[in-house]
A and B are shown apart, each in its own frame.
Chain A
Amino acid sequence: MNDFWTNTVFFGALISLLAYEVGLLARKKLKLALFNPLLIAVLCVMAANRVLGVDYEHYNRGGQYLSYLMTPATVALAVPLYEQLHLLKKNWKAVLGGISAGVLAGAGGIWALSKLFGLQHEQYVTFLPKSITTAIGMDVSAQLGGVVAITTATIIITGILGNVIAEGVFYVFKIHEPVARGLALGNSAHAIGTAKAMELGPVEGAMSSLAIVVAGVMTVVAASVFAHAL
């Protein structure tokens, strides 16, 4: 019986949705930012896979159908973006200024910390694209000679972390404008941050979607310049 539950192709998707429900319930009951539904879901699935002795490949036979929806969902971000286009027209200077400042701060920060830890060039360029969406980040890392598997891992951890800490960061740094919050989430935590921005509101969501696109393009350029620095 146990074998049946772990062998069915539906296991991966089923356990993921179940874990997400657990995450939603935990957030509802324990109103703490650390109880982030996505983080809890990932940890629950990892635990369940270990307890039931399911390896990742088997889990992903069902899980891949959730990942499959990522491209249509990203394309769908055009809808909130279109509905908030007037905000972009009105604030385009703040949008471009904020995103480019963030991209430069990120690249500069990674450079400074890599130097501090005495990292090799290969490790340094692996971290450079960590704040942008996985598909672009993997390409950038590969082109600069980084380790793509580690880049992907860092991008995912960055996204989940950004999703978890966003409200705390906004509180500490007094960021209350919805436009600024959205840009900050999309620029630092790409699509996973955008999922959080959508929860905060439609303006936040639209600006976060915009930041994914603009930051992606800017990082491609910034990373290739910064790559020569170490």
Chain B
Amino acid sequence: MKFLKQFMILLLFCAIGELLKELLPLPVPASVYGLLLLLLCLWKGIVKIEQVKQAALFLIEIMPVMFIPAGVALTQSWDSLQPILLPAVVIIVVTTILVMAVTGMVSQKMMTGETKEHE
């Protein structure tokens, strides 16, 4: 029962996220509103971490599985992707590595810079 109640709280935040998405004219998805709102409630102590933790960690653990249908859906967009396949592949591969490397290196550099200042 505890688990069910935790899942219910998460679904409640999803629903509030949907509501905010309807009301606010920003390009923010319901899930991001829900995430920020839950974080705020945890921070302010309105929701206790024990009230959602187990269900949350379970959902996060099985997250990769949730992307399988979206991945399989690629067979549906094959026709529209085919004419620009070469630029698409090059852009995806190059920029994914680029974003990953730049983000990692810059933040790592700025972190070690900060620690050195304190020393």
Contact = CB atoms under 8 A, between A and B. Distances in A.
Nearest to B58: A76
A98 B64 CA distance: 25
B88 to A, nearest CB: 7
A161 B57 CA distance: 24
Interface residues of A, number: 109
Given A72-B10, A213-B36, A195 B95 contact: no
Main secondary structure, interface of A, reads helix
Interface string B90-119: 111111111111111111101110100000
Contacts of B14: 71-72, 75
Contacts of A153: 73-74, 77, 80-81
A213 B32 contact: yes
Contact of A198 (B36, B63, B102, B105): B63
Q: Which 3 A-B pairs have the closest CB atoms?
A: A98-B107, A135-B29, A102-B103
Interface of B: 7, 10-11, 13-14, 17, 27-32, 34-36, 38-39, 42-43, 49, 52-53, 55-57, 59-77, 80-81, 84, 86-88, 90-108, 110-112, 114
